[in-house]
């Protein structure tokens, strides 16, 4: 092989290595991370607490209170799992009906109504369980329970924000913008 050909191949190899190195540097130090990389990791299935367990966590129950309501919580968890299985079964039936070339709207309406009823029953059962917890709570926890219920489950509106953002923010009323 001629020395000219060897020099060209070495130059091309050097150029290729430079681009690869530049790509690694750009992707790891310069480029913003992708959207998925910024999301927190999803918890494994089954590790998310149900709404009542989350509420008891927010109320900071002590050991005695937790022991007193453990049977109620396990009964609710079993019932919730059964209802979620029923919901999934009806969803699968709905999906199968929607995939059919000759969809039956009457059947789809019935399935959608069934899903709504199961969700409504699940919500009522959750509230019933929460109210069965109430006798085991201290007065301050009962107050917090009512506030959390209004916040999460009843969808109480947030207090109105002043126009222009937070008080004292640039552009807010009473504060000149620079």
21-67, pLDDT tens digit by residue?
A: 998 888 877 766 655 555 555 556 556 678 888 888 888 888 888 88
Type and span of the H or E element at 22: helix 3-25
Whether the full predicted model's pTM is greater than 0.75, yes or no, is: no
| Widest pairwise Cα distance in the chain | 93
Spatial contact of 51 and 59, defined as CB atoms under 8 Å apart: no
Question: What is the number of other CB atoms lying within 10 angstroms of the CB of residue 145?
Answer: 19
CA atoms within 13 A on the CB side of 98: 10
Which of 35, 119, 117, 37 minimizes the C-alpha distance to 84?
A: 119
Domains of the chain in start order, with CATH, are 51-145 (1.20.120.1490)
């Amino acid at each position: 092989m001629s020395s000219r050909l060897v020099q060209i191949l070495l130059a091309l190899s050097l150029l290729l290595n430079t681009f690869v190195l530049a790509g690694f540097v750009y992707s790891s130090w310069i480029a913003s991370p992708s959207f998925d990389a910024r999301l927190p990791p999803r918890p494994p299935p089954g590790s998310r607490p149900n709404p009542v367990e989350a509420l008891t966590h927010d109320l900071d129950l002590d050991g005695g209170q937790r022991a007193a309501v453990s049977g109620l919580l396990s009964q609710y968890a079993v019932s919730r799992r059964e209802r979620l299985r029923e919901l999934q079964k009806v969803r699968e039936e709905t999906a199968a009906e929607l995939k059919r070339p000759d969809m039956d709207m009457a059947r789809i309406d019935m399935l959608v109504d069934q899903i709504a009823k199961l969700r409504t029953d699940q919500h009522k059962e959750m509230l019933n369980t929460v109210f069965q917890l109430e006798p085991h709570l201290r007065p301050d926890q009962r107050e917090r329970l009512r506030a959390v219920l209004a916040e999460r489950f009843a969808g109480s509106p947030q207090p109105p924000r002043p126009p222009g953002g937070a008080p004292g923010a640039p552009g807010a009323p009473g504060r000149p913008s620079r």
